Structure 1
Amino acid sequence: MPKKCLAIMRREFFYMWRDRSLRYILLIGPLLGLILFYATYSAPVIKAIPTAVVDLDRSTASRELSDQFRNTEYLKVVAFPENFAEAEKLLQGGSVTVGIVIPEDFARNTSLGRQSNIAIMIDGSNIAYATNATNAVLLVTRAISAKIGVKTLVARGIQLTEAQEAYQSITFREEGWFNPALNYAYFLVLALALNFWQQCCMLAACMNVIGETGMNSRLQLKAMGVSKLQLFAGKSVAHIAAFMIMALPIYALSFYIFKLPLQCSFRLLFLFTLVFAVSLHSIGTLMSSFSNSAVNASRFGMIIALPSFVLCGYTWPLEAMPHYLQQLVKVLPQTWFFQGLNYLTFKNPGWGFISHYFLAMIVIALVCYGTAAIITSRN
């Protein structure tokens, strides 16, 4: 039996390599995706956000305020509209992402210690841009507010050191853990590349059963004394081995060239990926077992693989999804893999925590392989 399985594995590797389109998809696709994603998200933060400043006061104080906005590295003042309406047009046209309006009575109010309201409009149509713009504006406005407050107290006769202490009596120290710079590359690149990888793997896995039952090769192998168990066991091992061979260069580039974070041992990550590859292959095999053609098998597999990354809770928290959807996505191995990937690369919470992620994917694999075996045995 081992010799027959090895022969089937060699045969499957030969067929996968001979299929040029499949070979390019499996070998080049995920690597190309990784490189493109890294090039896209390599900048740790978005800087030089286009900004428009409307100075309705036109005073020395308002010009100083405009200069402070202009001198920050996160904002790039590209326009000085005359009024609010012009700033609104720039925002609507996408020329700027931030609009700042300094009111007419800014200098007078600040000199008298009165509150002065500065209007700040942020284009929220692009969430990434809007989040970075909001953080940049907050940094500048906090510093400006403290500086103006100190000047006001000094103008009232309070000593400079006392005025500074009054504004520094409570300090907030922010600490970003696990990804201190909030680097998009650290968070997204590897996950997006592995999402591309799992879609390619699903395409190959969906050919596991229908690729034989839909052709006369199954009859030929049966005449040679090769059982269904030997055939599909050999094919499955070959597929999973190919999937893992595809994953290795992705991890090599990510961790050793691009220096993406990896807090756990590579051995644990490799084992975690292997279990995911098995569970992913089991779903593709199940799709292949009840499909009446290779095209339909691929369609069924892609229906699962394509939306799984959005639904897995990696880019949007599961807790923010409807309860029924939170429970439904737990039947997908992608949910357990990408959630676990985040913990392993950033936190390494330990085997006691991550073990139930392994268990969930193993259960999915057993159920899918078992169901596929029953369906195939009846054909």
Structure 2
Amino acid sequence: MKTLDAALQAWGQTWRAILGDKAALLLFFISGIIYSFFYPLPYSGETVRRVPVAIVDQDNSTLSRQLVRWTGAHPGLAVAGVTTRPEQAQDWIWRGEAAGVMIIPSDFSRKILAGRQPEVEVGGLGAYPLLNKVVLNGLAEVVGTLSAGVELKRLGAATPSASQAEAQRQPVSVEVLPMFNVREGYASYIVPGVVVLLMQQTFLLGIGLLFGSWASEGRFPYAPRTAAYAGALAAFSLVVVLNAAWFFGFVFWFQDYPRGGNPGASLALTLLYSVCVAALGIWMGLFFRTRERSVQLLVASSMPILFLAGLAWPASALPLPLQGLRWLLPSTAAIQGFIATNQMGASLAEVGQEMLALAALTIAFIALGLRKWRRRPKC
């Protein structure tokens, strides 16, 4: 009973400390609420659309004008202007009025009617990779569509029906169906992974503030006992669980991100991740001697940790030492695991490597934290 009483007392002390510290409360809970609405806002369109392009039409034929109309009808493109002079198109790009250009040569329709292959030049503004990709792919699709239509007309003249002509041109049909990121958007790709890192970093900052305050004031509230450690660990773990419930249960639904693939596996991963992050936070917090130290040390680490997780940057492109060291961070396994279970419906067996990594880190952080916890007397 004494052990249980000590654990419950530590649980209550932890929640009183969290609710009584405005900065810690902001980091533990309020920051997640603010982040969930304002961070995805710039990506709410999901995909880049209506990128302005300039068209240099030196042919001015029926086919070239059709190419211009189809460019304007493409969902990713918008015709900023049509001219016959490349210098004018270049001026539009320099002024920021266009992010790409398509040059239709003067012999475009003549070559097509003669059965020859004309050359259409397309170019994008490489300073903006996302816009450049949409421009180059979109213009290539427009030119390819016109080319396919011309080829079908030629085949149609030599075949009994249009369907046979289409089958001759494309004997194997391809239908592209996105399975998980159904809108193929940037927000659905990046936000579900980043929120896992957010839960880790805001928690570590918050617990660093609490432990730094106690150290600087000389009033560590817990007894140096295992039961007190267990109570504090359970309370801090619940903080991470509540944040996970907010993001996975409400935010993903509200923002309409891919979700609900395997709720049971996601729940198991959440519980393990929560204990792992809480154990890491307690261990790190015991080293802080001032309230501000956690902010100074941890704020700048978020971006490198995101790259190490293999989400925004392929893990195979990392130096070999970093490919191993990145597994020392809970976010590495958690990001990969949550994306697999929550978005793709993976089973626990399929994320066994991530679960094993989190379990090993949890045991290590608890052992390290408990060892330092016992050596710190109650003030």
| Secondary structure, aligned partner of 1:80 | strand
For residues 224 and 324 of structure 2, the distance between their equivalents in structure 1, rounded to whole angstroms, comes to 38
Report the counterpart of residue 356 of structure 1 in structure 2. 353
Structure 2 contact 54–102 (Cα < 8 Å) conserved: yes
Deviation at 1:206, TM superposition (A): 2.4
| Secondary structure, aligned partner of 2:351 | helix
Report the counterpart of residue 288 of structure 2 in structure 1. 291
Cα distance, 1:18–1:289 mapped onto 2, change above 3 Å: closer
Report the counterpart of residue 338 of structure 1 in structure 2. 335
Deviation at 1:260, TM superposition (A): 2.4
For residues 74 and 212 of structure 2, the distance between their equivalents in structure 1, rounded to whole angstroms, comes to 60
Report the counterpart of residue 26 of structure 1 in structure 2. 28
Report the counterpart of residue 279 of structure 2 in structure 1. 282
Report the counterpart of residue 7 of structure 2 in structure 1. 5
In the TM superposition, 1:162-201 aligns within 5 A as 163-201=165-203
Q: CA RMSD in A?
A: 2.6
| Secondary structure, aligned partner of 2:24 | helix
For residues 138 and 31 of structure 1, the distance between their equivalents in structure 2, rounded to whole angstroms, comes to 42
Matching of residue 91 in structure 1 with residue 71 in structure 2: no
What TM-score, normalized by structure 1, do the two folds share? 0.87
Matching of residue 37 in structure 1 with residue 39 in structure 2: yes
Matching of residue 48 in structure 1 with residue 50 in structure 2: yes
| Secondary structure, aligned partner of 2:350 | helix
For residues 169 and 374 of structure 1, the distance between their equivalents in structure 2, rounded to whole angstroms, comes to 68
For residues 321 and 85 of structure 1, the distance between their equivalents in structure 2, rounded to whole angstroms, comes to 43
For residues 96 and 82 of structure 1, the distance between their equivalents in structure 2, rounded to whole angstroms, comes to 16
Deviation at 1:295, TM superposition (A): 2.6
Cα distance, 1:130–1:282 mapped onto 2, change above 3 Å: farther
Structure 1 residues 14-23 or 176-185, which shifts more?
176-185
Report the counterpart of residue 327 of structure 1 in structure 2. 324
- Partner amino acid, structure 1, of 2:324: Q
Deviation at 1:160, TM superposition (A): 6.6
Cα distance, 1:44–1:248 mapped onto 2, change above 3 Å: same
Structure 1 residues 101-110 or 368-377, which shifts more?
368-377
For residues 197 and 99 of structure 2, the distance between their equivalents in structure 1, rounded to whole angstroms, comes to 31
- Mark the runs of 5 or more structure 1 residues left unpaired by the alignment: none
- Mark the runs of 5 or more structure 2 residues left unpaired by the alignment: none
List per-residue Cα deviations over 1:45-72 (Å, max 9, x = no partner).
3222211111112223222221221222
Report the counterpart of residue 106 of structure 2 in structure 1. 104
Deviation at 1:241, TM superposition (A): 1.3
Deviation at 1:208, TM superposition (A): 6.0
For residues 129 and 282 of structure 1, the distance between their equivalents in structure 2, rounded to whole angstroms, comes to 43
Matching of residue 259 in structure 1 with residue 261 in structure 2: no
For residues 110 and 85 of structure 1, the distance between their equivalents in structure 2, rounded to whole angstroms, comes to 26
List per-residue Cα deviations over 1:269-306 (Å, max 9, x = no partner).
13312222222223323322333433334433445444
Report the counterpart of residue 364 of structure 2 in structure 1. 367
Report the counterpart of residue 16 of structure 1 in structure 2. 18
Structure 1 contact 54–102 (Cα < 8 Å) conserved: yes
What TM-score, normalized by structure 2, do the two folds share? 0.87
Cα distance, 1:263–1:45 mapped onto 2, change above 3 Å: same
Structure 1 residues 236-245 or 128-137, which shifts more?
128-137
Deviation at 1:154, TM superposition (A): 6.3
Cα distance, 1:111–1:73 mapped onto 2, change above 3 Å: same
| Secondary structure, aligned partner of 1:350 | coil
Report the counterpart of residue 207 of structure 2 in structure 1. 205
Cα distance, 1:41–1:375 mapped onto 2, change above 3 Å: same
For residues 232 and 301 of structure 1, the distance between their equivalents in structure 2, rounded to whole angstroms, comes to 23
- Partner amino acid, structure 2, of 1:116: P
Deviation at 1:44, TM superposition (A): 4.0
For residues 36 and 251 of structure 2, the distance between their equivalents in structure 1, rounded to whole angstroms, comes to 8
Percentage identity across paired residues of the two chains: 20
Cα distance, 1:281–1:233 mapped onto 2, change above 3 Å: same
- Partner amino acid, structure 1, of 2:236: H
For residues 178 and 108 of structure 1, the distance between their equivalents in structure 2, rounded to whole angstroms, comes to 45
- Partner amino acid, structure 2, of 1:253: F
Cα distance, 1:170–1:142 mapped onto 2, change above 3 Å: farther
Report the counterpart of residue 116 of structure 1 in structure 2. 118
Structure 1 contact 275–361 (Cα < 8 Å) conserved: yes
Cα distance, 1:208–1:362 mapped onto 2, change above 3 Å: farther
Deviation at 1:163, TM superposition (A): 4.7
